[in-house]
Structure formats: C-alpha cells, structure tokens
Amino acid sequence: MNYFFDTSALVKHFYDEKGSEIVSGIILKKTNNIWISELALIEIFSALYKKYRMKEIDESNLEIAIEGIKLEMEYFYVEPLNSLIIKEGIDLLEKYGRYYSLRTLDSLQISTFILLAEEKDWFFVASDEVLCKIVEEIGYPVLNPEKITL
C-alpha cells in the first residue's frame, strides 16, 4: 500500500500526540510505501521548532525528534518539487481557494500527491480537515489519524 503523508500527520511519528499510534503503525509496517513531498522535509523541522518555542516540548525531546527524523527519512520516498507540482498547485488554488482556506504549501502537498497517485492503492494521510476534505472531493481516499480510534 502507498501512503502519502502531509506534514500535519507525519509529525505525529516524531512527536507523541493524538493520532501518533496510528501514524507510527502505518509507517513502521514494512509492506507500506511511505511517500512525502520534498516540502515536508522543511515543514517538519519548522513544526518541531514551533512546538519547542511554544514550550510543548523541551530541548531534550526536540533533539530526539530531530535525530529520529534524520534517521528515518532515508526510508521514505521523497518526491522533489518541480514545475508540474507548482502548476497543479495553482490549479488547485484556482478551483478550491474561493471556498476553502487552502494555503500555498498545502496546495503543493496535495498537488504532489495527485501527481503520484495513479492506482487505487494510495492514501492521503493528513490531520488537516481542509486538506482531507479537498482530497476527498477530488476523489482520493483519505486517512485522518486523529479520527481513527483503536
């Protein structure tokens, strides 16, 4: 199975919060292919440093999370940003920007997923309701780890 992780869900693998158990279960299952946008590499560091600034995590946990990211990223498939992704992101903003609070980087996350997901065995994983709603509306399966109970 192929799973494309938006940063809103990916961060849960490196920082314990609602949905972390679901996310880690998906990522650690050896038969799953984990895909991310190149954009997620910088977004995840930004998210963790924000948690540190907001005093949600201490310095020790921040360092543990950063080291974990560096170690585990080599096991993910990373899709580089390119002009097709930018064009698709613009198209998404033109189509959904009037009705949804679709932000720039989120449009790039969705467009990366759309350009990757060719078969039915792809899931878009995000904890952002707006992203989930848009991807579902486009016609792809979505998994929000905060909405799943074990």
Nearest Cα to Cα of residue 18 among 103, 91, 127: 127
Average pLDDT value over all residues in the chain: 93
Q: 9 falls in which pLDDT band (50, 70, 90)?
A: very high
% pLDDT > 90, the chain: 83
CB neighbours of 72 closer than 8 A, spacing ≥ 6?
A: 13, 14, 27
121-145 tens-digit pLDDT: 899 999 999 999 999 999 999 999 9
| 8 Å CB contact between 105 and 39 | yes
pLDDT given for residue 150 in this prediction = 63
Could you state, in order of their start, the residue ranges of all structural domains in the chain? 2-80+120-143
Structurally, at CATH architecture level, domain 2-80+120-143 sits in: 3-Layer(aba) Sandwich (3.40)
Query: Cα 122–103–5 angle (5° rounding)?
Result: 25
CA within 13 Å, CB half, 119: 4
